[in-house]
Structure formats: C-alpha cells, structure tokens
Amino acid sequence: MSRRRVGFCLSDKKRRQINLVAFAELCASHSVEVVEVNLSQPLESQGPFAVIVHKLSDVIVKAEYDSQSQQLLDNFQGYVSTHPHTVLLDPLPAMSQLLDRFASYRIMSQLQNSLRDWRISSPPYLEISTSDLSVIQQDVESKGLSFPLICKTRVAHGSCSHDMSLIFSMAGLSEAHPPCVLQSFVNHGAVLHKVFVVGEDHFTVERPSLKNFPPGPYERKTIFFNSHEVSKPESCSHLTALDEEVSRLPPPSGEAMVALVRELRAELGMALFGVDVIVNINTHTLTIIDINIFPGYEGVPQFFSSLLSHIESVLDHQELKVPQATCPSAPSAPQADL
Ligand SMILES: Nc1ncnc2c1ncn2[C@@H]1O[C@H](COP(=O)(O)OP(=O)(O)O)[C@@H](O)[C@H]1O
Ligand SMILES: [Mg+2]
C-alpha cells in the first residue's frame, strides 16, 4: 500500500478549493492512499510517499523574507532530495519561475516562436525595474508598445499580485510602480478562455474578461482593478460589460489548443497548470496572457478523475522503474487526518 501513498501538501486556500476527503475516497477505491502532509512535522515519519502533490506558492514567496517559511521549504526540499523516487507534482524550480512574471513572460514570448504556425502569440511587454518616468517612457516608445497598457506586479502570487491597472497614455505611466510588467492590452471581446491542464488532459472553460478599449494613446484616467473582480466565474463588473454590440468570435480551435498545451507541458515540465488565452478580435490570433501554477479547476467536473488517472500513470511508471526491493517499507506513523 505504501508504494501507492500520495501526499498532499496544500495551502489553506487550496485546501478550501479541493475536497480532499472526497478525492481520498475515490483514490482508495483504486488502492491509492492519500494523506495530508504536515509541513511543520518531519516528512520522514509521514512518508514514504510515492508522489507528493503540492502547492507551496505561499511558502516559496514568504521564504524570501521569513525565516520560518524558509525553514519549512528547506525541510521539504531536504526530503525531496533524499527521496529521489518520490515524484513531485510539480518540480519546485518549474513552479517557482511562474511566481515571477518577468520569468513567465519570457517563457510566453519564447513560446510564440515555436507556435507561430498556429498563430499563437503573447502581447509585447516590458519589464519595469525603475521608477524613473522618462526611462519608462523611452522604453515604451522604443519597444513600440501600444496603449492601452496593462500593468501587473512582478510577483504573480498573493493578494496584491492581482491588483492591476490600465494605463492610456505616456503621462499615465507615472502610475506604474516597479517592479512590474507593462503589457499591451489586446481587445478580445471580454471573453477569457481558461485552459486547465492535468497531465495529458486539458479542459477549457470560458470566463468573463475585460471589455474592449479604443486603441490609444489618449487622455483618460488610469483604471485600477483587481483581476478577481473581472475573471472569476462569479465576476460581475462594469469593466467586463462591452460598450458596443459585437458578434461573438468562434472559440479557439481545438487543434491549436492541443499544440499550445503540448508545447507548454514540455517547456515547463509540469503536470498541473493553467493557461489564460484570449482571442484578438482584429486578427483572431490566440493570445496567451498568463500561466498559472496548480489552478482552481473551477468548472472542470472531471478534475478528480483526471488527477487520479494521472497519479496512477505516474505510479505505474514508477513501479517499472523502481524494483520492489528498493521500495521504502510501510511506515508505522499514523495517517494524517483527512
Ligand atoms: N494583455 C491583456 N490584454 C487584455 N486583457 C488582459 C491582458 N492581460 C490581462 N488581461 C485581463 O486581466 C485579467 C487578469 O490578468 P492575468 O494576467 O490573468 O492576471 P492574474 O494573475 O490576476 O490572473 C485577465 O483575466 C484578463 O481579463
Ligand atoms: Mg489569470
């Protein structure tokens, strides 16, 4: 049984999102044991784990300035490095890079090259590390970024990371506070396509999104907003109500989505991630605007069955690779409360 023990190490928010008790029941019927990992206790006595599914974004971000979080992360990393047969969903370095928009936007723009044939792109953007307005203005000009610009914090995780602004002119750039990214706003008819990936599967759901804006630059006050107000399933904001009647664009082609997910999966080396895609209303180009670590999978009823089948395929693969003799034996530690 211990060879099929899967540890879940989730943030409080994630724990509220996922009904781990229901998932554990489903797993038990497939002889897969699910235990909740307590990060502040030695992992050794909670294991051995064949797989650990985790979302440690809070801990990774906090570890930058908080020694207790750093300690938790060190303990976790220590366990992982001394248990090379434990499969991490997903690898820490791959996840960490997505917490930094400077890094994730570089990945998105590289992706454009490999996906050009599919007419998949990502909007032009700038990394802003200075508060010198004239330098920012020059950079915007020389990079040829078109207004409106959407300004997002460099850190992509935590409540403040969803505070964004729409800037309409060179003068408005005084409200871009570093470190942040400035990205050209793409009119997309207020429809967001959220792509949720689980191993080899992916699922797409539609969400509300920001309305169209006339191409700038022009005099208009910067609009400050929180992305949760605009792109959650329940979002209802004046910013998502289109000002004009527009015919709905056809949804992104399934084949293009398959190509996008295949490429990203290989590039990131991750199994649990999400991609936000919009369709440019003028060119119909699929445009990637965000990549998310272990997203909420809201609106994906197949999430549990898909996650279980991914875990089972990891376990099957592992059983082929790890001979029985070298497998860790069953622990005496009690199972964490679920
Ligand atoms: N370049 C863009 N063009 C048009 N709309 C955008 C662009 N970038 C973001 N948005 C809008 O802002 C929302 C939040 O942006 P996103 O980068 O996904 O941040 P978050 O990390 O908060 O999800 C998106 O869901 C979309 O509605
Ligand atoms: Mg997003």
181 and 288 both lie in a single domain: yes
Residue 230 CA, ligand 2 centroid: distance in Å: 10
φ/ψ of residue 313, rounded to 5:
-70, -35
In-domain check, residue 115:
yes
pLDDT at position 321 is 75
All residue ranges of the chain with pLDDT < 50 are: 1, 325-337
279 and 314 both lie in a single domain: no
Protein residue closest via CA to atom 23 of ligand 1: 227
Nearest ligand by distance to the CA of 164: 1
Structure token digits, residue 20: 């781990």
Is the peptide bond between 124 and the residue preceding it cis, with omega within 30 degrees of 0? Answer: no
Q: CB of 90 closer than 6 A to ligand 1? A: no
Q: CB of 121 closer than 6 A to ligand 1? A: no
113 and 242 both lie in a single domain: yes
9 and 142 both lie in a single domain: no
170 and 33 both lie in a single domain: no
Enclosing domain of residue 72: 2-90+300-326
pLDDT at position 210 is 97
Q: Say how far apart CA 71 and CA 87 lie, in whole Å.
A: 21
196 and 71 both lie in a single domain: no
40 and 161 both lie in a single domain: no
Q: What is the chain's alpha carbon radius of gyration, rounded to the nearest angstrom?
A: 22
In-domain check, residue 14:
yes
Total number of domains in the chain: 2
pLDDT at position 137 is 98
Q: CB of 186 closer than 6 A to ligand 1? A: yes
Nearest ligand by distance to the CA of 195: 2
Beta strands in 44-187 (DSSP E): 51-54, 87-89, 120-121, 125-128, 149-153, 163-167, 180-184
pLDDT at position 322 is 66
In-domain check, residue 15:
yes
139 and 238 both lie in a single domain: yes
130 and 276 both lie in a single domain: yes
Q: What angle, 0 to 180 degrees and rounded to 10, lies between the N-to-C axes of helices 20-28 and 303-321? A: 50
Write the pLDDT tens digit of every residue in 230-271.
988 888 889 999 988 888 888 899 999 999 999 999 999 999
In-domain check, residue 334:
no
155 and 267 both lie in a single domain: yes
CATH number at residue 109: 3.30.470.20
Residues 6+ apart with CB under 8 A from 161: 152, 153, 155
In-domain check, residue 333:
no
Query: Do residues 299 and 231 lie in contact, with contact meaning Cβ atoms separated by under 8 Å?
Result: no
pLDDT at position 320 is 77
pLDDT at position 324 is 52
141 and 18 both lie in a single domain: no
Q: CB of 231 closer than 6 A to ligand 1? A: yes
In-domain check, residue 332:
no
Rounded to two decimals, what is the model's pTM? 0.93
pLDDT at position 329 is 41
118 and 192 both lie in a single domain: yes
CATH number at residue 84: 3.40.50.11370
